[in-house]
C-alpha cells in the first residue's frame, strides 16, 4: 500500500471549493477529508467528529504545546486547527487527505509536510466570481466588496500553489482535480524511494556485467 | 488558440522512449515531433525533413551563430541540433512539441524555454531495463554494461525533471503521459496571463462595489 498525499485546497471565496471537495469524496474512494478541531461551541445539527472535533481551550492548547496540530489559527476568540494524528493515520492508510484552508495555513502545512500538494481553485473570471457571490443572495454589497478585496490579495499568492484549478463546469473540474492528484504523485520529489532504489540497482547491475 | 508547450522526453536507453513518443503522436492530435538538424549524411531510407533536416557544416554553424538552435551537440564529428524556428512555429500553432534529448540538452532547452515540460522515462526496475537491453539482441555485454553505467549517472539527474514516467504497460503509459501534459498546463508559472488578468479584474471590481 502506498502512502497517500496531503492535498491542500485553497481558493477565492465563491470559487466552489466546498462543492468540489464534496464531489471528489463522493466520486472516488481514495480521498479522506481532514476534520478540524475547534474550541467554538457546536451549532444545531453539528456532530463531534463530523463537522469538527469540538474541544476545550485547555485541550487545544495542550495539542499546540505537543506539536499535535499541523496548523492552527485563532478567529473571533476561538481556536481552529488541524489535528496531526488524524491526518497521519489516513495518509498511512493510503488515503489522499484533503484539507481546505487558506494560504497562510497552506504555508504552515508545507513546513511540516513538504510533499503536500497545494491546489488553488478559481472561477474562470472575476466577473463570474462576483456573480456567484451575489447569487448567494445572503451577502450585502459591503460583504461582497470585502470578499473581492480579499481575493485581490489571495490572487497574489497563486504562484505558491502547484496547480491552478479553473472551476467552470463542476463535473469536469472534479475529473481534472483527480487527474492533477495522480500527476502530482509522479513528481520526482514525491518518488525519492523509487529513484534511490533504481539508482542503487543500476549501480549493482552495471558492475555485474 | 492557446500556445502549445514544449515537452522534453529523456530517459534511460532501453526505457522505451521511442515507442512511447510514436504512440503519443498516433493516439492524440495535439502533439508534433521536433525534427533535428544534422550534418551527417542521410542513410538509406532517410528523407530530409522526416528523420532529420540534413544540412552542411556551413549552414549549421551559421544557425549556431544566429541563435537559431535551441540546443546542439557535436557527436562523432557531426553536429546534431534542434532548429528553433520549426519548434516555435508548431507551438504558436497550438501543438505540444516533443523533443527527445538527454539531460544536458534538456538543461539548455530550459534556459531558452523556461516553461518547457521535462519528463523522465524509466522502466519499473533496473532488472527490467537490463532485460530489455539484452532482449534487443544486438548489443554486446560490454555495450550493455556501458548503457547501465550511463543510466547510473542519468538517474542522478531525475530530480531536475517535472515528472517521472514509469513505463510498464505501453498503452497505460501513453495515457498517463497525456494526462501529465494536461496537468502541467495547470501549473501557475504556465498561466501567468490568466493570473494577472483575474488579479486586475478583481482589483477593478472590488473598487466598483
pTM: predicted TM-score of the whole model, two decimal places = 0.91
C-alpha distance from residue A195 to each of A81, A142, B102, B160 (Å) = 35, 53, 17, 12
With CA atoms as reference, the chain A residue closest to B177 would be A183
Q: Which residues fall within 8 angstroms of residue A165, CB to CB, at 6 or more apart?
A: A11, A20, A119, A120, A121, A122, A173, A176, A177, A180, B186
C-beta atoms of B148 and A206 within 8 A: yes
> Residue B152 is part of a domain; what is its CATH number?
3.40.50.300
Complex ipTM, two decimals? 0.91
Residue of A nearest to B191 (CA): A164
On whether any CB of chain A is under 8 Å from the CB of B178, the answer is no
Residue A124, domain member (yes or no): yes
**Residue whose C-alpha is closest to residue B136's, from B147, B150, B124:** B147
* Average pLDDT over all residues of chain B: 93
Running DSSP on this structure, what letter comes out for residue A127?
H
In a domain, B76, yes or no: no
Q: How far is A139 from chain B (nearest CA, A)?
A: 13
* Residue reference for cell 519528463: B119
Q: So what's the pLDDT on residue B142?
A: 85
Residue B198 lies in a domain: yes
The reported pLDDT for the residue numbered A209 is 53
On whether any CB of chain A is under 8 Å from the CB of B120, the answer is yes
Cα–Cα dist B66/A34, whole Å? 56
Please state the separation of Cα B54 from the chain's center in Å: 20
Nearest CA in chain B to A142: B209
Residues contacting B185, CB < 8 A, separation 6+: B5, B191
Q: Does some domain include residue B19? A: yes
* A84: in domain: no
- When scoring B114, B142, B183, B192 by the number of chain A Cβ atoms within 10 A, the one with the most, hence best to mutate, is B183
Give the alpha-carbon dihedral of A200, A205, A206, A207, to 10 degrees. 100
| Residue in the structure block whose three cell numbers are 494526462 | B179
Number of domains in chain B: 1
Q: Is residue A203 part of a domain?
A: yes
Q: Is A106 part of a structural domain of the chain?
A: yes
Residue pLDDT, tens place only, A4-37: 999 999 999 888 899 999 999 999 999 999 999 9
Render pLDDT for A113-167 as a digit per residue (tens, 0 to 9): 999 999 999 999 999 998 888 887 777 888 888 888 899 999 999 999 999 999 9
**Contact in structure between A204 and B148 (CB atoms under 8 Å):** no
Is residue B162 within 8 angstroms of chain A, CB to CB?
A: yes
Domain range enclosing B169:
6-34+95-208
Give a yes or no: residue B15 inside a domain.
yes
Query: B175 CB near a chain A CB, below 8 Å?
Result: no
Amino acid at each position: 500500500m502506498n502512502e497517500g498525499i496531503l492535498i491542500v485546497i485553497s481558493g477565492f471565496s465563491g470559487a466552489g471549493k466546498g462543492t468540489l471537495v464534496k464531489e471528489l469524496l463522493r466520486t472516488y474512494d481514495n480521498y479522506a477529508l481532514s476534520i478540524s478541531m475547534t474550541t467554538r461551541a457546536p451549532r444545531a445539527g453539528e456532530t463531534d467528529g463530523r463537522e469538527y472535533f469540538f474541544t476545550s481551550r485547555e485541550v487545544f492548547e495542550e495539542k499546540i504545546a505537543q506539536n499535535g496540530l499541523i496548523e492552527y489559527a485563532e478567529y473571533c476568540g476561538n481556536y481552529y486547527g488541524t489535528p496531526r494524528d488524524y491526518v497521519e493515520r489516513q495518509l498511512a492508510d493510503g488515503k489522499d487527505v484533503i484539507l481546505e484552508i487558506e494560504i497562510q495555513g497552506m504555508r504552515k502545512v508545507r513546513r511540516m509536510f513538504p510533499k503536500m500538494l497545494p491546489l488553488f481553485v478559481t472561477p474562470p473570471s472575476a466577473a463570474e466570481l462576483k456573480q456567484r457571490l451575489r447569487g448567494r443572495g445572503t451577502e450585502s454589497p459591503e460583504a461582497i466588496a470585502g470578499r473581492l478585496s480579499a481575493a485581490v490579495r489571495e490572487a497574489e499568492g497563486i504562484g505558491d500553489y502547484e496547480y491552478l484549478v479553473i472551476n467552470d463546469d463542476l463535473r469536469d473540474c472534479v475529473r481534472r482535480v483527480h487527474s492533477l492528484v495522480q500527476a502530482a504523485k509522479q513528481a520526482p520529489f514525491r518518488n525519492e524511494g523509487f529513484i534511490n532504489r533504481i539508482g542503487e540497482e543500476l549501480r549493482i547491475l552495471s558492475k555485474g556485467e
